[in-house]
Amino acid sequence: MSKKVLYGLYNDEETLFSAITKAKQSGLDIMDVYTPFPVHGLDDVMELSESRLHIAGFVYGALGTLTALGVMTWVFTRDWPIIFGGKPYFSFPAFVPITFELTVLFAAVGMVLSFYIVCGLGPFAANNPVLDDRITDDKFCIAFDTTGMSQIDLEKYSSFFDNTGVAEVNTKII
Amino acid sequence: MHHPVISPVREPLVQGRKSYHQITEDICAPTEKAPNLAWTAGFLLSVAIAAFGVACILLTIWNGIGEWNLNRTIGWGWDITNFVWWIGIGHAGTLISAILLLFRQKWRTGVNRAAEAMTIFAVICAGLFPLIHMGRIWLAFFIFPYPNTRGPLWVNFNSPLLWDVFAISTYFTVSLLFWYTGLVPDFATVRDRAKGVRKKIYSVLAMGWTGAAKHWQRHESLSLVLAGLATPLVLSVHTIVSFDFATSVIPGWHTTIFPPYFVAGAIFSGFAMVLTLMIITRKVLGLEEYITVGHIESMNKIIVLTGSIVGVAYLTELFIAWYSGYIYEQFAFYNRALGPYWWSYFGMMTCNVISPQFFWSKKLRRNIAFTFVLSIFINLGMWFERFVIIVTSLHRDYLPSSWSMYAPTWVEVGIFVGTIGIFFVLFLIFVRVAPVVAIAEIKHVLRSSGDQYTGYDADPKYKEYYESVKSGEHAASHDQH
């Protein structure tokens, strides 16, 4: 289903910040904010919750630790025990390097895949609609979803951009 | 919200009063216009060298490693020397992208993208050597623990050579993911400027990136954790490479100093290669305002630090060999310095210990031509180091009847030179298709590090002060603001 998006483009992050604050105060429902680079403090102004990606990363890493230790222990104590250099079958210090590597591998691969999945990004998402080509260059964008809005609401949203230092206001159906 | 940071001591990282748009224009330019003569000539030369290297590799695979001059005493020669050399070079990329991110060093933003690319290409070159050294490369999958019909018979998880397999494949995977994730927003920038087929290709590469606030938040979180993972990872990789030597009972190898000594050497050689590449790249692509003399100076400071660590390690080795009272160890070091391979030890000491000491001078640290020449010396010196460690330690066995000498065949030399060709082919393709400098990250630091915001050229008073600092007249440090 296509959306009718009303968006304003700003030339720098300071005007963007004050505009977002104003929109929040006026009780407007922001669809999303798009920026050409990560702007620090934006998540606070937009009241975004903290990303939980690092928690997932910890879980993936722990999975890697257990996999490595589990497989090596099973192979050397149960499946095919061999004595190497007179050491015990379960020689923990020798298992540390591979355990470490698999911890890192699982955490990194798991987190990256999770990142693409939760953001809905990937080669399959190549045709994601782009509101304006200049957002990845030098424009900062606030977007409102105005699909099926009443005339009164629409005017309220359009007039919001007045006096916020906006450079351009457009509508696009995506 | 934003107030200019007046910092006459910290040099601006982005010069030329750039706007956000100008940054996009400058950095995307090399991917959008036809290649210049320098690039084309360099590319053709690299392809020719790479082709010769591939031919030598095929000859080795076809005839077996009898094509090389390895013998029963000297089982590792140029192959493993080259492997360790390339892996070491890769380490600087991860140091710049991960460790300097954790230390919040903003100057990394100018060079991290290209340095990470260098890491990936260097690891590709490194990985070739153990594979072809196996002889029967078609059985290379035996190194992985997979369920097989021989029992299953497993690999030896206690062996440092197997740890290496895990370390290097993990290192390659994580570096590639880290690099690509950083590239996605920049590919989106290129996509939004492109037309036609290029737009289609970059749309797939950019994976539908829109720059949404939540995506940036997750992207930042991901980058930080990946940096936190890559930091111990990069230290572990060369530590494990050093275990290949240190856990054996060869005099000159069996020492506990090896892990930190190898890691410092790896970073040292890696920064030399980053400098070699960056000095050419900034010139050819006209990126002098993003990869500034200040960046080169910062890297030279790391060169002098790690070079000195390496120097101390060499001297410690010598002292401990004497102090151990163990005649085999003493002979190994006497033989390194004064034996038949004295020239390689001499080359190593000169290039790695003496040459970086020039960088205590600020003038030389900021001299681009001098830095370039010295970076080549360090690249050479670190190759000598690995040759010294491997060949000189092996060629005088416990049994004098097994003593032997080794010189490479033209095939071995060809493979080494060929990997340099492969490396440059990959790097030259990279500078044509991807933004060489991280666009979004440069924009992110612009307001704190661009020359128009640092007070450097905004205020004549500071400009004068800044010039005096730069020329070294004003030694006093000064707080920010």
Count of the separate structural domains present in chain B: 1
Query: pLDDT value at position B480?
Result: 40
Nearest C-alpha in A relative to B151: A80
Half-sphere exposure of A125 (CA within 13 A, CB side): 17
Shared-domain flag, residues A67 and A87: yes
Distance CA B47, CA B236 (A): 33
Q: Is A125 exposed, middle or buried (0-12, 13-18, 19+ CB in 10 A)?
A: middle
The Cα-based distances of A163 to A18, A118, B1, B470 in angstroms read 11, 36, 18, 44
Looking at residues B245-249, what average pLDDT do you find?
A: 92
Looking at residues B198-211, what average pLDDT do you find?
A: 94
Choose the weakest-confidence range: A160-174, B222-236, B245-259, B446-460: B446-460
CATH number of A35's domain: 3.30.70
Q: Are A5 and A173 within 8 A, CB to CB?
A: yes
Question: Are A104 and B233 in contact (CB < 8 Å)?
Answer: yes
Shared-domain flag, residues A13 and A35: yes
Q: Which of A41, A98, A112 sits opposite B177 (nearest CB)?
A: A112
Query: pLDDT value at position B448?
Result: 80
Shared-domain flag, residues A109 and A58: yes
Question: Are B174 and A36 in contact (CB < 8 Å)?
Answer: no
pLDDT at B456 over 70: no
The Cα-based distances of B42 to B38, B90, B411 in angstroms read 6, 22, 23
**pLDDT tier at B481, thresholds 50, 70, 90:** very low
- Min Cα separation A122/chain B (Å): 4
Roughly what angle, to the nearest 10 degrees, separates helices B368-387 and B342-349? Answer: 140
Domain that holds residue A111: 53-124
| Model confidence pLDDT, tens digit, residues B103-129 | 888 888 889 999 999 999 999 999 999
From A133, A143, A16, A12, select the one nearest B443 (Cα to Cα). Answer: A12
Question: Are A138 and B24 in contact (CB < 8 Å)?
Answer: yes
**3-state secondary structure (DSSP) of residue B194:** coil
pLDDT at B477 over 50: no
pLDDT at A138 over 70: yes
Question: Are A123 and B226 in contact (CB < 8 Å)?
Answer: no
Question: Are A43 and B213 in contact (CB < 8 Å)?
Answer: yes
Looking at residues B262-273, what average pLDDT do you find?
A: 94
Looking at residues B301-309, what average pLDDT do you find?
A: 95
Domain that holds residue B365: 20-141+165-462
pLDDT at B450 over 90: no
Looking at residues B291-306, what average pLDDT do you find?
A: 93
- Min Cα separation B87/chain A (Å): 16
Residue B28 inside a domain? The answer is yes
What's chain B's average pLDDT?
90
Question: Are A35 and B188 in contact (CB < 8 Å)?
Answer: no
| Model confidence pLDDT, tens digit, residues A60-115 | 999 999 999 999 999 999 999 988 888 899 999 999 999 999 999 999 999 999 99
Query: pLDDT value at position A128?
Result: 87
Shared-domain flag, residues A33 and A74: no
| The domain boundary residue, chosen from A87, A106, A124 | A124
Query: pLDDT value at position B11?
Result: 80
Shared-domain flag, residues A115 and A136: no
Residue B473 inside a domain? The answer is no
From A36, A71, A55, select the one nearest B446 (Cα to Cα). Answer: A36
Question: Are A125 and B243 in contact (CB < 8 Å)?
Answer: no
Query: pLDDT value at position B470?
Result: 54
- Min Cα separation B347/chain A (Å): 33
Sign of CA dihedral A35, A37, A39, A42: positive
Q: Is A117 exposed, middle or buried (0-12, 13-18, 19+ CB in 10 A)?
A: exposed
The Cα-based distances of B303 to B87, B268, B272, B275 in angstroms read 17, 6, 7, 10
Residues of A in contact with B200 (CB under 8 A): 126
Question: Are A126 and B181 in contact (CB < 8 Å)?
Answer: no
CB–CB contacts below 8 A, A to B: 192
Shared-domain flag, residues A102 and A77: yes
Helices (H), B388-409: 393-395
Query: pLDDT value at position B453?
Result: 75
Count of the separate structural domains present in chain A: 2
Spatial neighbors of B197 by CB under 8 A, at least 6 apart, are none
Choose the weakest-confidence range: B59-63, B150-154, B303-307: B150-154
Shared-domain flag, residues A74 and A37: no
DSSP calls for B95-137 = IIIIIHHHTT-TTHHHHHHHHHHHHHHHHHHHHHHHHHHTS-G
| Model confidence pLDDT, tens digit, residues B314-341 | 999 999 999 999 999 999 999 999 999 9
Distance CA A90, CA A76 (A): 7
**DSSP tag of B272:** H
Distance CA B94, CA B179 (A): 10
Residue from B20, B179, B189, B444 to probe the interface with A (highest A Cβ count within 10 Å)? B20
- Min Cα separation B249/chain A (Å): 13
| Model confidence pLDDT, tens digit, residues A2-45 | 889 999 999 988 899 999 999 999 888 999 999 999 998 898 88
Query: pLDDT value at position B473?
Result: 46
Residues of B in contact with A32 (CB under 8 A): 212-214
**pLDDT tier at B280, thresholds 50, 70, 90:** very high
pLDDT at A1 over 80: no
Tokens of B226: 């990946």
Query: pLDDT value at position B349?
Result: 95
Choose the weakest-confidence range: B32-41, B385-394, B421-430: B32-41
Distance CA B156, CA B451 (A): 56
Nearest C-alpha in A relative to B223: A112
Nearest C-alpha in B relative to A132: B192
**pLDDT tier at B53, thresholds 50, 70, 90:** very high
| Model confidence pLDDT, tens digit, residues A102-111 | 999 999 999 9
Nearest C-alpha in A relative to B195: A133
Spatial neighbors of B350 by CB under 8 A, at least 6 apart, are B381
Residues of A in contact with B214 (CB under 8 A): 32, 48, 119
Shared-domain flag, residues A88 and A143: no
Query: pLDDT value at position A85?
Result: 84
Q: What are residue B307's DSSP bridge partners?
A: none
Distance CA B418, CA B425 (A): 10
**DSSP tag of A140:** E
